[in-house]
Structure 1
Amino acid sequence: HVSVFAVPRVNDIDLKDAREVCAFQPIASQLPDQTDIPTNGEARCRSRPPIVPVDTEDEQTQMVFLASFLQNNRLEHVHQVMGYHPAYVEAFVKTQHFLLREDGPLPFHYRHFIAIMAAARHHCTYLVRLHAQEFLVQGGDTEWLRGLSYAPQKLQNLYEVVKILAHRPWLIKKEHIGKLTQGTDTWSLSEVTQALIICAHIQSLCSFVFGCGIRAELDQGGCTMRPPSTSGDDSDDYSSDSSSGEPNANFLEENGLETLMMKMRQLTEEATLQETTQEELLKRFESVEIRVLKVISVPTSSKTSAKEEILRFVKDSEFTYSDFAKRAPVLDIPTFRVQDYSWEDHGFSLANRLYPDIGNLLDDRFTIAFNLTYNTMGDIVDVDTKGFRQAIWYYIHCMYGIRHDDYDYAQVNRLLDRNLKTYIKTVSCYPERITKKDYDGVMRQFKHSEKVHVNLMVTEARMQAELLYALRAVNRYMT
């Protein structure tokens, strides 16, 4: 594997100089105590979670920040929030750099236009604007930014796949791949693979952007960090003790971590005392799958409003996530069994075959996100968090119809309370609906960095789910 992202060595750069270079971006980080900058209209800032400062003392994070700045001429807020987890942000930035800036089958301006299409499905203004700027920097035609209908037919042909991947990836079939690679305005399989990975990368990143409340940098007309309000209310009435709306929210705040720790210990003890049959494991998966239906992210009457700059890149806006368990029987779509097609045994090698080196980079991201732990929960130390982390990852896969035969899904219902399930489902499936009230009302005893950690797992588990369906469709088309 060839390194595609050269992070400067510490002895090559004076850290003081590095801090001075990074300090130019974002400007908001220069203000005392991260003070909000008052502006008019939508860009007006609200209270929001802190971000990792550009002059962080963590050497690894500082080097990643510097490399990000030198490549992008800005230090993106996404990277600053991810900076709580240095190993992860380094892997993330490497992958993103390779996808968008290194050699590959797709022209650079095509990559950013695909990113725009993917981000627009979730009404993510932050990412749409960011990639519209990059599209122009890469020599893209300004006419394309007037809307989908102004883009080349080749890109328009991709839109159906972009839409399905964003909301119901289990509908992706080999016929979709065949339609792109045959006839006029065709795609090569390598181009399709890169496009699919860009879509999954951007769509899952929408979950992180909304889940952590990341706002645009100042030169994009934004401020710092705030999730959108689905009500359209632009008041500053947001506080860190916002209620989640759950009747047992106060109980969870007082007893949540203690209860969770007790349940994790019980599950560890039970695992050593008994073996569970495959029939019982299947029943437990189906139980979680059915319970997903009962987890409602927001009332169906609550819809986000999108601006014209977003809607011009959106078709069939009514097509959104629908619970996998509700899929129409006539479609004959079975549960996706990881034992039949997994990332490790199948997706990884296919991705590397059609788009060399990308599999290694993605695998690093998935591995770090899945295994990342500091053995803490809130103020409690020396905690084995494996059970909790697995429950989050596999719950997200379950929402997308993916089953791991060797996992006991009873752990999901025991370790994830309804409030947390609601948050995870919203961030994963309807990220544009997340508000700061949702963020404040969940995992109340967790540190901010731990909430960011949960959002990283949501991001990566969702991306892996999309890629499993997409790459399986490519594989079926090839065979």
Structure 2
Amino acid sequence: MVPPRAEITPGFRHLEAEGGLASPISSPPNKQPAAAALRGAAMGTPTRHLPRGAGGTAVGSGGTQGCPYRAAGRRLGAAGGILQEGVESSRRQLLIEAFVSAGRVDNITMVMGLHPQYLSSFWKTQYLLLRMDGPLPYHKRHYIAIMAAARHQCSYLVGLHMGEFLQVGGNPAWLQGLHCAPQKLRNLNEINKLLAHRPWLITKEHIEALLKTGEHSWSLAELVQALVLLTHYHSLASFVFGCGINPEAEQDGGHGGRPPSPHGDSSPASEDSMGCSGGKDALQEVEALMERMKLLQESQQEEEGVTQEEMATRFELEKTESLLVAPSDLADHSLQSSVLCFVEDPEFGYKDFTRRGEQAPPTFRAQDYTWEDHGYSLINRLYPDVGQLLDEKFQVVYNLTYNTIAMHCGVDTSMLRRAIWNYVHCVFGIRYDDYDYGEVNQLLERSLKIYIKTVACYPEKTTKRMYAQFWRHFKHSEKVHINLLLLEARMQAALLYALRAVTRYMT
């Protein structure tokens, strides 16, 4: 796992100390009308997976080594009402600020609001990408978002940014399709396609082609901003499909909303009409996972260490086994014309990094090109400030913890989050020399692997059944936490490939 650049204190005090995300307006907002509007918004169903009104208890699987608030977290976990009140207060403040800033609270915000600390970091990053000074004009930023979302058939994001594109003065003719956009934007199509589906194929030649195309050439700063936007929206599409985000009330299309479930942040197992035996099985799965985590922690303390050769062998084994992890009930999404018009070569998609009988590309050794030592500094040099915000966002989601797992409190599950993060990087061909990939097989059940790979690699094929089949006794907010990990792990993986190509072009 990529070590964080600096310790981020998990829990809620960090967010409260900052006062949440600063509102982009200078004068204090009138909270009362916004609060009233939010009460109305909360009555909707932002996702087909979560129950109506879910989010009262934001809990997450987690735990951080050396967490100074761990003891306090256990006490808060025991006094669930206190924990819920603190999270709700932070969440309410963030949603009010969203309403004041944009005049609305979209469904992505409602679902991410289950984890206020992450939502604050996400907003700051997205606000900088779309609304602050940068190399690209505002309308082109939204058009790039449309191009990225369309690669994954995400009509929700495409629709949102078509509206934003027009609001900032974009030419309506461009929305007829990619063929109507300027050649400079159309030239992004190839790297958009590769970043979305097979980022390991990106080379310095792709970068050179964009920077040296005469009157349609990109500057290096423009291209870096475009790369960040593309990876941001590819990954956000994963979150939309992974959580089953419904369209806004005023949006057409979407992903087929279902009737809302009962109130609360209960587990899918308790909502579905599972028989008595099904409920017991789900409960046993939680206990089995807890036992495996305990045994792994004990074995790590006892064993003298695994050789680098054994580490590499276990990675190759996990990478090969990932070929066997394929969705059994792929969703059949027919491309809407409003999305298809922004896609060239729609048949191009994710292809397993390692395939039998084929020459695999070289494994990306994370130590050779790290986010901390290479990607972070390159972005900050060419696109100031965004590197720091991306770094914070990666850290926040990796360290996010409430010291709970299903019905258990005071749990350190850092190894579980690390296994999820590293499995995402594994299916994209990235290996950490200092990580024992045997942990992945021991901690991630097959149904969870199927879900992770689907959401990360071909999110448009995610189904509600996949969401319901893994971790059946976990709360919805814990599953949203998993999707936040997938979002950020996927984004970092794609960025590493893209930025490595930029670095090779520059040297």
Whether TM exceeds 0.5 here: the answer is yes
Match of 2:298 in 1: 269
Could you tell me whether the CA contact under 8 Å between 1:120 and 1:128 is conserved in 2?
yes
Could you tell me whether the CA contact under 8 Å between 1:76 and 1:217 is conserved in 2?
yes
Distance 1:474 1:390, change over 3 A: same
After superposition, the C-alpha distances for 1:222-249 in whole angstroms (9 at most, x for unaligned) are 689848xxxxxxxxxxx94389xxxx98
Q: How much has 1:13 moved relative to structure 2?
A: 5.2
Alignment counterpart, residue 199 of structure 1, candidates 211, 219, 230: 230
Match of 1:351 in 2: 379
Q: How much has 1:254 moved relative to structure 2?
A: 3.4
Match of 2:99 in 1: 69
Tell me how far apart the structure 2 counterparts of residues 457 and 272 of structure 1 sit (CA, whole Å).
26
1:307 is aligned to 2:336:
yes
Distance 1:305 1:262, change over 3 A: same
Alignment counterpart, residue 443 of structure 1, candidates 451, 471, 480: 471
Tell me how far apart the structure 1 counterparts of residues 356 and 93 of structure 2 sit (CA, whole Å).
46
Could you tell me whether the CA contact under 8 Å between 2:34 and 2:100 is conserved in 1?
no
Could you tell me whether the CA contact under 8 Å between 1:257 and 1:445 is conserved in 2?
yes
Match of 1:218 in 2: 249
Match of 2:159 in 1: 129
Match of 1:232 in 2: none
Equivalent residue letter for 1:445: H
After superposition, the C-alpha distances for 1:326-380 in whole angstroms (9 at most, x for unaligned) are 29856x7211111100111110110111100000100111001111111111111
The percentage of counterpart residues that share the same residue type is: 50
Partner secondary structure for residue 218 of structure 1: coil
Could you tell me whether the CA contact under 8 Å between 1:4 and 1:98 is conserved in 2?
no
Q: How much has 1:195 moved relative to structure 2?
A: 0.4
Alignment counterpart, residue 280 of structure 1, candidates 295, 310, 316: 310
Match of 1:375 in 2: 403
Match of 1:112 in 2: 142
Match of 2:350 in 1: 321
Partner secondary structure for residue 326 of structure 1: coil
Tell me how far apart the structure 2 counterparts of residues 7 and 327 of structure 1 sit (CA, whole Å).
52
Match of 1:297 in 2: 327
Equivalent residue letter for 1:446: F
After superposition, the C-alpha distances for 1:54-84 in whole angstroms (9 at most, x for unaligned) are 9x96332223212222332210110110111
Tell me how far apart the structure 1 counterparts of residues 243 and 51 of structure 2 sit (CA, whole Å).
8
Alignment counterpart, residue 440 of structure 2, candidates 388, 412, 428: 412
Alignment counterpart, residue 122 of structure 2, candidates 88, 92, 95: 92
Tell me how far apart the structure 1 counterparts of residues 55 and 442 of structure 2 sit (CA, whole Å).
37
Could you tell me whether the CA contact under 8 Å between 1:4 and 1:102 is conserved in 2?
no
Q: How much has 1:434 moved relative to structure 2?
A: 1.2
Distance 1:221 1:51, change over 3 A: farther
Could you tell me whether the CA contact under 8 Å between 1:121 and 1:314 is conserved in 2?
yes
Distance 1:425 1:224, change over 3 A: closer
Tell me how far apart the structure 1 counterparts of residues 410 and 94 of structure 2 sit (CA, whole Å).
28
1:467 is aligned to 2:498:
no
CA RMSD of aligned residues (A): 2.8
Match of 2:22 in 1: 6
Alignment counterpart, residue 142 of structure 1, candidates 166, 172, 175: 172
Distance 1:304 1:413, change over 3 A: same
Could you tell me whether the CA contact under 8 Å between 1:337 and 1:404 is conserved in 2?
yes
Partner secondary structure for residue 436 of structure 2: coil
1:151 is aligned to 2:181:
yes
Could you tell me whether the CA contact under 8 Å between 2:192 and 2:230 is conserved in 1?
yes
Partner secondary structure for residue 383 of structure 1: coil
Match of 2:67 in 1: none
Distance 1:125 1:138, change over 3 A: same
Could you tell me whether the CA contact under 8 Å between 1:217 and 1:224 is conserved in 2?
no
Q: How much has 1:22 moved relative to structure 2?
A: 3.8
**TM-score w.r.t. length of structure 2:** 0.82
Q: How much has 1:304 moved relative to structure 2?
A: 1.9
Distance 1:52 1:16, change over 3 A: farther
Alignment counterpart, residue 288 of structure 2, candidates 259, 264, 268: 259
Tell me how far apart the structure 2 counterparts of residues 198 and 79 of structure 1 sit (CA, whole Å).
18
1:333 is aligned to 2:333:
no
Distance 1:362 1:249, change over 3 A: farther
Tell me how far apart the structure 2 counterparts of residues 111 and 99 of structure 1 sit (CA, whole Å).
8
1:384 is aligned to 2:412:
yes
Tell me how far apart the structure 2 counterparts of residues 49 and 445 of structure 1 sit (CA, whole Å).
15
After superposition, the C-alpha distances for 1:234-282 in whole angstroms (9 at most, x for unaligned) are xxxxx94389xxxx98775131110000010111011111111111111
Distance 1:471 1:46, change over 3 A: closer
Equivalent residue letter for 1:19: A
Distance 1:335 1:242, change over 3 A: farther
Equivalent residue letter for 2:245: I
Partner secondary structure for residue 166 of structure 2: helix
Could you tell me whether the CA contact under 8 Å between 1:242 and 1:440 is conserved in 2?
no
Tell me how far apart the structure 1 counterparts of residues 112 and 428 of structure 2 sit (CA, whole Å).
25
Distance 1:251 1:398, change over 3 A: farther
Q: How much has 1:88 moved relative to structure 2?
A: 0.1
Distance 1:68 1:346, change over 3 A: same
Could you tell me whether the CA contact under 8 Å between 1:7 and 1:63 is conserved in 2?
no
Q: Please, which runs of 5 or more residues in structure 2 have no aligned partner?
A: 1-18, 57-83, 259-269
Q: How much has 1:437 moved relative to structure 2?
A: 1.8
Match of 2:75 in 1: none
Tell me how far apart the structure 2 counterparts of residues 183 and 158 of structure 1 sit (CA, whole Å).
12
Distance 1:327 1:202, change over 3 A: farther
Match of 2:70 in 1: none
Distance 1:99 1:52, change over 3 A: farther
Could you tell me whether the CA contact under 8 Å between 1:242 and 1:437 is conserved in 2?
no
**TM-score w.r.t. length of structure 1:** 0.87
Counting matched residue pairs gives 445
Alignment counterpart, residue 402 of structure 1, candidates 414, 421, 430: 430
Could you tell me whether the CA contact under 8 Å between 1:180 and 1:186 is conserved in 2?
yes
Tell me how far apart the structure 2 counterparts of residues 66 and 427 of structure 1 sit (CA, whole Å).
30
Alignment counterpart, residue 454 of structure 1, candidates 478, 482, 494: 482
Equivalent residue letter for 1:200: T
Tell me how far apart the structure 2 counterparts of residues 52 and 74 of structure 1 sit (CA, whole Å).
19
Q: How much has 1:175 moved relative to structure 2?
A: 0.5
Alignment counterpart, residue 174 of structure 1, candidates 197, 204, 216: 204
Q: Please, which runs of 5 or more residues in structure 1 have no aligned partner?
A: 37-44, 228-238
Alignment of 1:425-440 (within 5 A): 425-440=453-468
